[in-house]
Structure 1
Amino acid sequence: MDQITPAAVDQDDEEQERDRPFNAYRFAASENTSAIVREAISLLLNCEAHFRLKKNKRRAKDQQTFDLTVDALLSDLMHHHLIEYPMGIYVTRSNRELGKKSRYRPPAYSKMFPYILDLMAKPEMAYIDQDVAAPVEGAARSTVIRPGRRLLDRMMEQEVEIDDVEEHPQGETIILKRTKDANDYWDEGGLEEYDDTEVTERYRSEITDINDWLAAAELRFNPTGISWPHTAFDIRSRRLRRIFTQGRFTSGGRLFGGFWQELRKHERRQGLYISGEKAVELDYGQVGPRILYGMADQQPPFGDLYAMPGYYQQRAGIKRVMSAMIFASDMLDRFPKETKSLFRRSDKIGEVVSEIERWHPLIRDHFYRGLGHDAQFIESQVMIEVLLTLKDRDIVALPIHDAVMVPASAVSVARAIMLDTFQRHAHVEGTVTVEG
């Protein structure tokens, strides 16, 4: 998949298992799981009283938040165990994040969140096993949690299954991230508050239409013949978010979420079925440099833009270096992260960069201008229109950044729509390949 990706982000990292973020919107959806939550709340309140952890009785509103937080934590931990996710769940302990009013903050978050975590992790409770990060000056503290012994025992007693836990259709779907502070090593970018406009409301309406459409889609996954280990996922997880970058709604804008994005390439290409048919992945090729040609009001040369004389065997490395040149604001003085191994030992970054500039003279003055996020926005606009057009044609499509998966019978129609849409937005001809 040829994506527009910042140099600081690894492109081919989907093989790596990571701790995943806490989903604060899960809830107990059956009598089995509701009974576990009710018992936990009762035991936690008794534990508070026994150890005299709480001097005064909570206000009704605060108790409601307490109950909601316990429900969300237990439900997400139960879901985590049921899909057999191999890593943990990370949660924040930052009072700055938990206490502020924000369009992004789930109802289950409050300044009491770390206290509730610690209470549920007490040996007497054993609902949570947690690893609390050591405090580091300037860094946000995070905690990794896993189901505790008592929770696992209760799940077995109640014979809890995946359908016993569900997710509220809440949460902001239009996300704005601010620019990272280059002078602050610990700055991770963070979320930016914003006031809604006609533009943001239109973007949100588009995502709502897409999410409602995908929620009703007939999707199936067959793991037969797929090598182990299998990626843990929930086929009901289909909700997408659109994430904009650099504090503006003309930067980034890619779609994230959906279980199919969690799957490894070979898993989704071998095991995924849409509307009863084998799913096929259609992928835009060399999307970053092609969009850059359009931004420069130039036409790209014929053929593969990453295939350069003298570097045919280093195409993957050329792709990453060229992406870095599109995102960078200054000349590259070293190979991007985890890129050097894609070149020969004798290759030097200066020589590689010079050859790319020589091979692409028409966009040479568009490198090192930080245009990557702007190009990514054009890519995201293309993908939104492709999805909505396919929706109108009653063709289910699952987006993966600059690619879509469609039923096998819809490949020709989807490919034509993708090429037409790319031409109109990027003002240059695109390429679409059938992957796998």
Structure 2
Amino acid sequence: MDQIAPLLATPDDEDEERDRPFNAYRFAASDNARGIVAEAIALLLNYEERFGLGKNKRRDVDQQTFDLTVDAVLSDLMHHHIIEYPLDIYVTRSNRVLGTRSRYRPRAYSKVFPRIIDLLAKPELGYVQQDKAAPIPGASKSTVIRPGPTLLARMRDADIDADDLDEHSHGETIILKRTKDRDDYWDEGGLEQYDDTPATNRYRQELDEINQWLASADLRYDPLRIPEPHTAFDIRDRRLRRIFARARFDSGGRMFGGFWQQLRKHERRQGLRIAGEKAVELDYGQVGARILYGMTGHFPATDDLYWMHGYGQQRDGIKKVMSAMIFAEARLDRFPKGTRQLFRKTDRIGEVVDAIEAKHPLIKDQFHKGLGHDAQFIESSILVDVLLDLRAKGVVALPIHDAVMVPASKMSITEEVMLCVFNAHAHVQGTVTVEG
């Protein structure tokens, strides 16, 4: 993958563990951790000189980038090992990403990044182990790295823990993704450069206010009585980013980031504490469908938009198919990924689509027009305003796409805010449920 920072990891299934992207903003924050990094830098420079790998002495600015990159790689690997994340870290070796100046690119990424990784992975040095991506279609497109034996030994000797490491402030929080070329297997969609406007400045200011608020919030996690396996995370990871889609700032815009979004549902609901209270999750119901009604100036005729005669036991499947119909640009001719098992063997996708259209004649013509990201922009704007309103009322809230987690004692005021904001943006009445 050609992501240049950990801000584009957007898993579709929260219960599926994945390699995580390299965090280029990590750094050694204690004397012990800085000592490990300094020793590694000295050994790398000595290795280069011994084997004649550096033709000329680096300029000061290039040496600073070299040092910062080594610091980021080793610090992220140490942090990864400490929190016992079960899989590996993936990094990019793409010249297209590393060689292009960008508002998104952290200083630790440059054209020499792969060379530094290769040096750290030399068996004689042993700081990194890496598995390079195979340059063939169908294979993994990412190089993964993990701590090498030398780094693990240095960590044990120095008794390194999470408090020895920290993060620089991330760069850009307003992310614009371009449209992926469906005919190009290697095209990951990538990031789009943009000039700031009053709108992007406002989005960034709003998110800065929310991030500062969450950084100082009283958040705790108690894994007691939560069955294994436990998701590995850092409770200090609270920074949110908004990711817009299709090279437009009125498309997508959901907030990603924050340790709570990494947790599985049962972990969040059982282990998370906000201001000393059990956290509860309030979720907008049928959000995409209701927003689509509002976009067309109509009101839903029924309370439950997913219940349909003849498919009473297939409501979960109807929900997912209807969502796919909102995003699709052509009429569905097969069940969307992961939905076939939600229906009976005798059910056919054409019949399901027909039934959904018959249930919703007022918005029938809006399906299969690719309006999903437009509806998602309205949804994301709703969540931002919900957070800002709750912040003004002194209620700490953690966003999870179309839901928020709040202290149990704040459910009533949160529901009131959520319904009011939804109506103002979507122009139809919303529904809010307490999950779990």
Normalising to structure 1: TM-score of the pair?
0.96
Secondary structure of the corresponding residue to residue 256 of structure 1: strand
d(CA) in 1 for partners of 2:185 and 2:121? 31
The yes-or-no answer on 1:113 pairing with 2:113 is yes
Report what 1:21 is aligned to: 21
Report what 1:428 is aligned to: 428
Q: Is the 8 A contact 1:10 1:337 kept in 2?
A: no
Q: Once the 2 structures are TM-superposed, how far is the Cα of residue 136 of structure 1 from its aligned partner?
A: 2.5
d(CA) in 1 for partners of 2:328 and 2:374? 12
Q: Is the 8 A contact 2:133 2:140 kept in 1?
A: no
Q: Is the 8 A contact 1:94 1:140 kept in 2?
A: no
Deviation sequence 1:220-263 (CA, Å, 0-9, x none) = 00000000000000000000000000000000000000000000
The yes-or-no answer on 1:41 pairing with 2:41 is yes
Structure 1 vs Structure 2 CA RMSD? 1.5
Residue 66 of structure 1 aligns with an amino acid whose one-letter code is F
Residue 89 of structure 1 aligns with an amino acid whose one-letter code is I
Are residues 120 and 283 of structure 1, via their aligned partners in 2, closer, same or farther at CA, if it must alter by over 3 Å?
Answer: same
Report what 1:415 is aligned to: 415
Identity %: 69
Report what 1:5 is aligned to: none
Q: Once the 2 structures are TM-superposed, how far is the Cα of residue 139 of structure 1 from its aligned partner?
A: 8.9
Residue 382 of structure 2 aligns with an amino acid whose one-letter code is V
Structural mapping, 1:1-400, within 5 Å: 13-136=13-136, 141-400=141-400
Q: Once the 2 structures are TM-superposed, how far is the Cα of residue 431 of structure 1 from its aligned partner?
A: 0.4
Q: Once the 2 structures are TM-superposed, how far is the Cα of residue 169 of structure 1 from its aligned partner?
A: 1.1
d(CA) in 2 for partners of 1:97 and 1:54? 24
Q: Once the 2 structures are TM-superposed, how far is the Cα of residue 304 of structure 1 from its aligned partner?
A: 1.5
Q: Once the 2 structures are TM-superposed, how far is the Cα of residue 48 of structure 1 from its aligned partner?
A: 1.0
Q: Runs of 5+ in structure 2 lacking a partner? A: 1-8
Q: Once the 2 structures are TM-superposed, how far is the Cα of residue 181 of structure 1 from its aligned partner?
A: 1.4
d(CA) in 1 for partners of 2:166 and 2:184? 39
d(CA) in 2 for partners of 1:314 and 1:352? 10
Q: Is the 8 A contact 1:33 1:164 kept in 2?
A: yes
Q: Which runs of 4+ in 1 moved over 4 A?
A: 9-12, 137-141
Secondary structure of the corresponding residue to residue 23 of structure 2: coil
d(CA) in 1 for partners of 2:366 and 2:137? 39
Residue 30 of structure 1 aligns with an amino acid whose one-letter code is S
Are residues 11 and 358 of structure 1, via their aligned partners in 2, closer, same or farther at CA, if it must alter by over 3 Å?
Answer: farther
Q: Once the 2 structures are TM-superposed, how far is the Cα of residue 54 of structure 1 from its aligned partner?
A: 1.3
d(CA) in 2 for partners of 1:370 and 1:42? 54
Q: Is the 8 A contact 2:137 2:185 kept in 1?
A: no
Q: Once the 2 structures are TM-superposed, how far is the Cα of residue 184 of structure 1 from its aligned partner?
A: 1.9
Residue 77 of structure 1 aligns with an amino acid whose one-letter code is L
d(CA) in 2 for partners of 1:10 and 1:106? 19
Q: Once the 2 structures are TM-superposed, how far is the Cα of residue 186 of structure 1 from its aligned partner?
A: 2.3
d(CA) in 1 for partners of 2:287 and 2:119? 50
d(CA) in 1 for partners of 2:320 and 2:36? 49
- Identify the range of structure 1 (395-404 vs 127-136) with the bigger mean alpha-carbon deviation: 127-136
Deviation sequence 1:97-146 (CA, Å, 0-9, x none) = 00101000000011000000000000011100100011137999521000
Are residues 56 and 141 of structure 1, via their aligned partners in 2, closer, same or farther at CA, if it must alter by over 3 Å?
Answer: farther
Q: Runs of 5+ in structure 1 lacking a partner? A: 1-8
Q: Once the 2 structures are TM-superposed, how far is the Cα of residue 12 of structure 1 from its aligned partner?
A: 6.2
Report what 2:3 is aligned to: none
Secondary structure of the corresponding residue to residue 75 of structure 1: helix
Residue 403 of structure 2 aligns with an amino acid whose one-letter code is A
Are residues 140 and 227 of structure 1, via their aligned partners in 2, closer, same or farther at CA, if it must alter by over 3 Å?
Answer: closer
d(CA) in 1 for partners of 2:141 and 2:374? 32
Q: Is the 8 A contact 2:83 2:233 kept in 1?
A: yes
Are residues 139 and 112 of structure 1, via their aligned partners in 2, closer, same or farther at CA, if it must alter by over 3 Å?
Answer: farther
Deviation sequence 1:346-381 (CA, Å, 0-9, x none) = 100000000000011110011011110000000000
d(CA) in 2 for partners of 1:121 and 1:403? 43
d(CA) in 2 for partners of 1:163 and 1:35? 15
Secondary structure of the corresponding residue to residue 144 of structure 1: strand
Secondary structure of the corresponding residue to residue 291 of structure 1: helix
- How many corresponding residue pairs? 428
Residue 66 of structure 2 aligns with an amino acid whose one-letter code is F
d(CA) in 1 for partners of 2:17 and 2:50? 40
- Identify the range of structure 1 (126-135 vs 49-58) with the bigger mean alpha-carbon deviation: 49-58
d(CA) in 1 for partners of 2:242 and 2:290? 22
d(CA) in 2 for partners of 1:28 and 1:431? 46
d(CA) in 1 for partners of 2:142 and 2:225? 38
Residue 276 of structure 2 aligns with an amino acid whose one-letter code is G
d(CA) in 2 for partners of 1:365 and 1:11? 30
Q: Once the 2 structures are TM-superposed, how far is the Cα of residue 170 of structure 1 from its aligned partner?
A: 2.4
d(CA) in 2 for partners of 1:379 and 1:200? 17
Q: Once the 2 structures are TM-superposed, how far is the Cα of residue 279 of structure 1 from its aligned partner?
A: 0.4
- Using CA pairs under 8 Å that are at least 6 residues apart, name the structure with larger relative contact order, 1 or 2: 1
Q: Once the 2 structures are TM-superposed, how far is the Cα of residue 50 of structure 1 from its aligned partner?
A: 1.6
- Identify the range of structure 1 (246-255 vs 302-311) with the bigger mean alpha-carbon deviation: 302-311
- Identify the range of structure 1 (218-227 vs 329-338) with the bigger mean alpha-carbon deviation: 329-338
Secondary structure of the corresponding residue to residue 416 of structure 2: helix
Report what 1:3 is aligned to: none
d(CA) in 1 for partners of 2:295 and 2:162? 47
Secondary structure of the corresponding residue to residue 361 of structure 1: coil
Secondary structure of the corresponding residue to residue 383 of structure 1: helix
